[in-house]
Structure 1
Amino acid sequence: MKRLLIFSVAVFIVIAFNVSVEAEPEYAKWGAIAVNETQKRFKADIIDYKHIGRIELTPKKSEEKFKLWLRNKEGNEFGLYVSIQFDPSTDLIYSIRFSESNQ
């Protein structure tokens, strides 16, 4: 009985650890959209990526913000802020805005 209890606890810990390690963050799908839209528009290599955060603007409108670091074909590097406004209940995208940064 004691072995069964220890085994059960061990299995539970392994399963719980695997679930927590493999879970994608909530912003991951928005980050993929930010990266894809940036590549389409700027035709540059994305060499760094940072999720800044989510803001709830209204109950029907949220905004995810990211900062990407790009390198163009000429080798110039620059920062780019990407803001995606969307309906959090339907994931309908209202807008995607880009703003260049020199930092």
Structure 2
Amino acid sequence: MPGHDQHAAMAMPSQDDPDTLSEGGIQKVDKDAGKLTVKHGPLNNLGMPAMTMAFKVQDPAMLDQVKVGQLVRFRVERANGSLTITRLEVSK
């Protein structure tokens, strides 16, 4: 059938895809510790269920991009033995 080869091009991103972002809400911004506390959905790339926890940020400038109560999309990766936010976008 014509057109069926296009389905492969629309494949869902894998959980290891660096562009896959999780969603959550900022609960706390701790500039002294360089951490954000996020109530988040599943972190599929890490096999982690939804919960609330504090993460280090890769770039301290991320701490100035958000405030408590904002919804965000973000990527967490294991870096130097810590779970670290490597990408952060404020949801619109």
Normalising by structure 1, report the TM-score.
0.26
Structure with greater helix percent: 1
Normalising by structure 2, report the TM-score.
0.28
